[in-house]
């Protein structure tokens, strides 16, 4: 007797009045209808086969290198019908406080600049934030209202552009400072009360007006000193 759990058989018709031509029989029922012949079989493995039914295992963990697995199912008692393939999902373990600490947030522009030495300062001498000093570092220092600028001005002056109202740069090769307007926005920048329409070299003591805020430039590096 064949081990397949089901068979599709075709009966030999006993007459024109016999409408039943095909039947699906369970294993062990072959002798119940001797007037039949097998025409096809189920391709499943017998239940005692080591390769018999499997489960598709899927992980919810984004860091899992093997998001899906095929797992063998435990053998059932004799006579039990084997399961078909089953999709099994594993619940994600709850996050801990340590996981939140280990997650590295995106670093804003000023975080990288904070690791560099100071090359000068901007001191607010008029307007919101008066008395605060702001550090300048190597390269291009964007000045704007939000914290994603290297030189943020979060003191409440709504006339200062959110990002890159002006840019103050330090060139370490030439050991010189330059100031320029930041972009195509409608807010003007002024250098010593003159409109800043093109990049200008600055030496120290100049006043930069952005909205209602006036910043005075104080250099540290220059011809006589540099960190390199």
**Per-residue model confidence as pLDDT tens digits over 95-110:** 554 454 444 444 455 4
35 pLDDT band, cuts 50/70/90, is low
Write down the mean pLDDT value for the chain.
74
CA distance 52 to 83: 9
DSSP classification of residue 146: S
What structural domains does the chain harbor? 1-7+22-44 (no CATH), 46-92 (no CATH), 109-219 (2.60.200.20)
Proportion of the chain above pLDDT 70, given as a percent: 50
**Per-residue model confidence as pLDDT tens digits over 117-152:** 999 999 999 999 999 999 999 999 999 999 999 999
In this predicted structure, what is the pLDDT of residue 63? Answer: 52
In this predicted structure, what is the pLDDT of residue 183? Answer: 79
DSSP classification of residue 102: H
Proportion of the chain above pLDDT 90, given as a percent: 46
CA distance 109 to 112: 6
Cβ neighbours of 122 (radius 10 Å): 21
Tokens of 21: 């031509």
CA distance 13 to 20: 7
**Per-residue model confidence as pLDDT tens digits over 56-69:** 444 455 555 545 45
Question: Exposed e or buried b for every residue in 204-219, given b needs 16+ CB within 10 A?
Answer: eebebbbbebbbbbeb
In this predicted structure, what is the pLDDT of residue 200? Answer: 97
Q: Residue 157: name the closest of 179, 129, 182 by CA.
A: 129
pTM of the model: 0.52
185 pLDDT band, cuts 50/70/90, is confident
In this predicted structure, what is the pLDDT of residue 98? Answer: 47
70 pLDDT band, cuts 50/70/90, is very low
Tokens of 22: 């095909």
């Amino acid at each position: 007797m064949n081990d397949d759990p089901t068979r599709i058989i075709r009966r030999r018709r006993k007459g024109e009045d016999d409408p039943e031509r095909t039947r699906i029989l369970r294993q062990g029922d072959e002798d119940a209808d001797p007037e039949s012949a097998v025409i096809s079989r189920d391709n499943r493995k017998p239940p005692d086969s080591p390769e018999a039914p499997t489960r598709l295992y899927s992980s919810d963990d984004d860091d899992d290198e093997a998001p899906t697995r095929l797992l063998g199912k435990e053998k059932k008692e004799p006579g039990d019908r084997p399961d078909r393939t089953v999709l099994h999902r594993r619940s994600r373990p709850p996050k801990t406080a340590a996981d939140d600490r280990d997650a590295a947030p995106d670093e804003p522009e000023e975080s990288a600049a904070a690791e560099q030495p100071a090359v000068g300062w901007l001191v607010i001498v008029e307007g919101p934030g008066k008395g605060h000093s702001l550090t300048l570092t190597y390269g291009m220092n964007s000045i704007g209202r939000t914290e994603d600028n290297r030189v943020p001005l979060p003191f409440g002056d709504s006339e200062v552009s959110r990002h890159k109202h002006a840019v103050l740069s330090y060139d370490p090769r030439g050991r010189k400072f330059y100031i320029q307007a930041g972009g195509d926005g409608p807010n003007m920048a002024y250098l010593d009360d003159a409109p800043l329409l093109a990049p200008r070299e600055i030496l120290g003591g100049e006043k930069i007006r952005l909205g209602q805020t006036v910043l005075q430039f104080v250099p540290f590096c220059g011809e006589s000193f540099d960190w390199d």
